[in-house]
Chain A
């Protein structure tokens, strides 16, 4: 390992007291489009504990997506620091960033984003092959995970042959393929009906308690918000408020 990378890890470790799986420190992100500068994030700081269930809320254009991408290692801050598992992602080269995305973070998308040409189990095995695991080991592990999400019997089906809820469960299984510390879910229930949405929430809840996975979702789904530990409100590029579901309940009642 590179010396400077080791240094970075040490920095991260000292900056880190304990238990935080993600730390964002005064993160700013500016998009330049010719002469126009767009300040998507104007300084957001957040610590996420291990095995926390966190929801991020905010109106569109608030910088919610940018922040979400930032703490998921999909984008780098213009200034400020983002530590994922104590590593400053701004300092990583593309190979290391790909490594991090592969093993530390699992992604779940609003529209599932399964690879349509691959069967269910192949989709789950894909991140494993990116991590260098293949063959029987990968197949066995993929079957285990599919069993966990209750789809072992549909392993050889194509995504197009499955319902939305089933597809999203495959996506959850795929996100878990390399046993990540963090699962990042972007509106995971938005394309699902109420009942299947609840099933997914239940699945998240179970994963968190069984595997100790940190779950971060961007969502407007009330049921999802209710089950989370903390809710982060983002407005105009800043974190305006961090509340618990109970407090939020009161606010919503006030509105209605």
Chain B
């Protein structure tokens, strides 16, 4: 007689095929499951996007304010900028505001901008920008200027010491912008922490909603398919195969839902803020990298969450005794 063997393990492809077929045929039910994921993920993603957009708006505003402050300071020193000569020394990395300032200065009609040594003391004002330490002392930088005026963007910039006997005292050092005061920094920090906490809390809620929604929809789908599962078991399907079937189905629905949800959440946020503040403002300083990371995380998270939610229903289906297929009148 033939010997009893171990039941073959079906390739994943077959389970995938059956799962896809199931989703296609039960499209309406699948849509319900997917919409659960879509809502959860969209909710989460719109929150993340809103945070990023708010941050972008705040950054952009700060930059514009800083720029205005810089221009005002320059004007208060030397009056109208038109027809003036400004020496420029840059040490290290420049900030966005500094670059914006340079762009504005270059566009100002009648204003000459050049390196201190090239201008040869004809400059009305010396502008020192960048984040690095200066490589020349103030007296050298301002050499030849009738009335040495030095505007520095950094309060605590390190300068090489001046030659002994030079008239450093005559050089006026003004600050474009010092660091924010401690108080302000603390306030901003607290606000940021609150925002993070809120995002986290909303995130947790949306995750729970998604998990429960999917688990419920899948449980329904298991109950609906009780007889089908039992029949498959009678025909020689193993519990692992049934489990695989439901996990794959859920992962696919989860992925589809997460993609749609991510797109929807992002678009809604953009539309909302864009219509209120103008698309120029929100896109100018937007952290695109952060947005992409968040989107990828949402899609991956949605898929994984759907699979997590499917564990219970899948096990429930897999544990079913084949005999129940014989007599269930569902």
Residue of B nearest to A91 (CB): B4
Residue of A nearest to B235 (CB): A127
Interface residues of A in 95-148 (CB under 8 A from B): 95-96, 98-103, 107, 109-111, 113, 115-118, 126-127, 129-132, 134
A87 in contact (CB, < 8 A)? yes
Report the minimal beta-carbon distance from A179 to chain B, rounded to whole angstroms: 11
5 A-B pairs in the complex with CB atoms less than 8 angstroms apart: A69-B326, A75-B323, A100-B4, A107-B234, A115-B228
Interface residues of B in 7-65 (CB under 8 A from A): 7-8, 10, 14, 21-22, 24-26
Q: Are A9 and B8 in contact (CB under 8 A)?
A: no
The residue from B230, B236, B321, B322 contacting A131, defined by CB atoms under 8 A apart: B236
Interface of B toward A, CB cutoff 8 Å = 1-8, 10, 14, 21-22, 24-26, 227-228, 230-239, 241, 321-323, 325-327, 329
Q: Are B236 and A98 in contact (CB under 8 A)?
A: yes
**In the bound complex, what is the Cα–Cα distance between A115 and B227 (angstroms)?**
9
**Contact size range, A:** 35 or more
**In the bound complex, what is the Cα–Cα distance between A65 and B10 (angstroms)?**
30
Q: Are A86 and B235 in contact (CB under 8 A)?
A: no
Report the minimal beta-carbon distance from B4 to chain A, rounded to whole angstroms: 5
A162 in contact (CB, < 8 A)? no
What are the residues of chain A within 8 A of B10 when measuring CB–CB?
129-130, 132
**In the bound complex, what is the Cα–Cα distance between A125 and B7 (angstroms)?**
16
Q: Are A86 and B326 in contact (CB under 8 A)?
A: no
**In the bound complex, what is the Cα–Cα distance between A178 and B21 (angstroms)?**
23
- The CB with the most chain A CB atoms within 10 A, among B232, B235, B238, B241, is that of B235
Known contacts A65-B326, A95-B7; is-contact A113 B25 (Cβ 8 Å): no
Q: Are A95 and B326 in contact (CB under 8 A)?
A: no
The residue from A5, A74, A92, A117 contacting B21, defined by CB atoms under 8 A apart: A117
A52 in contact (CB, < 8 A)? no
Kindly supply a per-residue 1/0 record for chain A positions 228-251, scoring 1 wherever the CB is within 8 Å of any chain B CB and 0 otherwise: 000000000000000000000000
What are the residues of chain B within 8 A of A74 when measuring CB–CB?
234, 321-323, 326
What are the residues of chain A within 8 A of B8 when measuring CB–CB?
130-132
The residue from A99, A109, A116, A186 contacting B7, defined by CB atoms under 8 A apart: A99
**In the bound complex, what is the Cα–Cα distance between A115 and B22 (angstroms)?**
10
Q: Are A117 and B4 in contact (CB under 8 A)?
A: no
Q: Are A101 and B325 in contact (CB under 8 A)?
A: no
What are the residues of chain A within 8 A of B321 when measuring CB–CB?
74-75
Q: Are A96 and B26 in contact (CB under 8 A)?
A: no
What are the residues of chain B within 8 A of A34 when measuring CB–CB?
none
A252 in contact (CB, < 8 A)? no
